[in-house]
Amino acid sequence: MTFPSVRTTLTRLSAAPALLAAAAVFGTIFGTLFGALLIAPKAAHAQPAAWPTKPVRLVVGYAAGGATDVLARLVAVKLGENLDQPVVIDNRAGANSNVGAEVVAKAPPDGYTLYVYTIANTINASLYDKLGYDPVRDFELAGMIAKIPNVLVVNPKLPVHTVAEYIRFAKESPNGVTFASSGSGSSIHLSGEIFRMRSGSNMLHVPYRGSAPAVTDLLGGQVQSMFDNTPSAMPHIKAGRLRAIAITSAQRSSLLPEVPTVAESGFPGFDVQSWFAIAAPAGTPRPIVDKINAALNKSLAAPDVRQRMQELVATPEPGTPEQCRAFALSEIRRWRDVVQESGARVN
């Protein structure tokens, strides 16, 4: 057997610490790189690169021409300018906006599919036995767009000019007074239901498939009154084809300064307004939500947007995502009570 020399053994022993140090350095470098590979995808997801890099779709749950669509198109133009990408309107009408809401709830949470979330979605939470989406869990509320009051209008042939006269007519008429709506559970319908419950009036609800046919029958005298969205009713009020009795917001409108609020007509605290917001699918990264919010608030501050909103009797409502979400949750609680007390239901 041949044994290594003492010199060879000492040489090997003296080299060992260097080899161990090299291995330690290599291990540290490898570990750092490996850890970075594991963390990088999460960091990239949490901090999206440039967004948007392509057109953004804004889904509207109603047909073209209505208040929701008009506001969406107005805001979409400015949003596109502020985001440096076109914002394209996609009308998905049906089931009191539930069709459009479900489309967005199931869309990828990448910021390229957004939704005009409205008062209807908070009402639908209690109105429908089953929904294909959850109005709370399935959306990230990016920010409010605006609020629009409703206005109590009557056919000019009806012998009433004030809220007090309207209530008296409803109570004294054998058949009460009819009030039209754009559909059961709409804000137009439930504005009337809140008024009926608070005033104790004898009022018969007549639902239609949309505001346009309801207004047509109101103009023709087939129904007697309606708590219509102000933009829809305004042209007919100005032309004298409908008589405005009261507005449902807390303050009077600058475009209808002579028309009192329901609140000042004997019902303190009465404040019912249609409202509109922008939402993204749940799971959309917060940086994208914040960018949408910033672009939306900037759009609402534009002079031409504010001027057009004033013409629509709409009040811009800039704010934070947290404020928007808190308001939506409060509306869900509010309308749950109204739906239950009024007995309104859609299966």
CB-CB contact of 237 with 256 (8 Å): yes
Using pLDDT thresholds of 50, 70 and 90, give the confidence band for residue 120: very high
Helices 98-105 and 119-127 sit at what angle, rounded to 10 degrees? 100
Strand pairing report for 139-154 and 315-316? antiparallel
Examine the pLDDT at 41 and tell me if it is beyond 80.
Answer: no
Tell me whether domains 56-148+273-342 and 149-265 share a fold. Answer: yes
Which residues are bridge partners to 258 per DSSP?
none
The letter for the amino acid at 173 is: S
Q: Which helix (H) or strand (E) holds 229?
A: strand 225-229
User: For residue 153, what are its two tokens?
Assistant: 């209008």
CA distance 82 to 80: 5
The pLDDT tens digits of the residues spanning 69-106 come to 999 999 999 999 999 999 999 999 888 899 999 999 99
Q: What is the pLDDT of residues 231-246, one digit of tens each?
A: 889 999 999 999 999 9
- How many angstroms separate the CA atoms of 30 and 41, rounded? 18
Residue 182: what pLDDT?
Answer: 85
Q: What is the third-level CATH fold of 149-265? A: D-Maltodextrin-Binding Protein; domain 2 (3.40.190)
Instruction: Please report, for the chain, the start and end positions of each structural domain, with discontinuous segments joined by +.
Output: 56-148+273-342, 149-265
- Segment (H or E) for 317: none
Residue 66 pLDDT class (50, 70, 90 cuts):
confident
If we measure between CA atoms, which residue out of 279, 280, 297, 288 comes closest to residue 82? 297
**Mean predicted lDDT score pLDDT of the chain:** 87
* Alpha-carbon distances, residue 299 vs 143, 145, 205, 316 (angstroms): 12, 9, 38, 10
Express each pLDDT in 248-287 by its tens digit. Answer: 999 999 889 999 999 999 999 999 999 999 999 999 999 9
**303 against 34, higher pLDDT:** 303
Average pLDDT over residues 141-147: 97
Phi (first) and psi of residue 95, to 5 degrees:
55, 45
User: If you average pLDDT over residues 301-317, what whole number do you get?
Assistant: 94
Q: Are 265 and 162 in contact (CB under 8 A)?
A: yes
Name which residue leads in pLDDT, 248 or 49: 248
Would you say residue 46 has pLDDT above 50? no
DSSP notation for 171-206: HHSTT-EEEEESSTTSHHHHHHHHHHHHHT--EEEE
Average pLDDT over every residue of 104-112: 98
Q: Residue 13 above 90 pLDDT?
A: no
Provide the CATH topology of domain 56-148+273-342. Answer: D-Maltodextrin-Binding Protein; domain 2 (3.40.190)
The tens digit of pLDDT for each residue in 157-216 reads: 999 999 999 999 999 999 999 999 988 888 899 999 999 999 999 999 999 888 888 999
DSSP label at residue 4: P
- Residue 296 is encoded by which pair of tokens? 């939306």
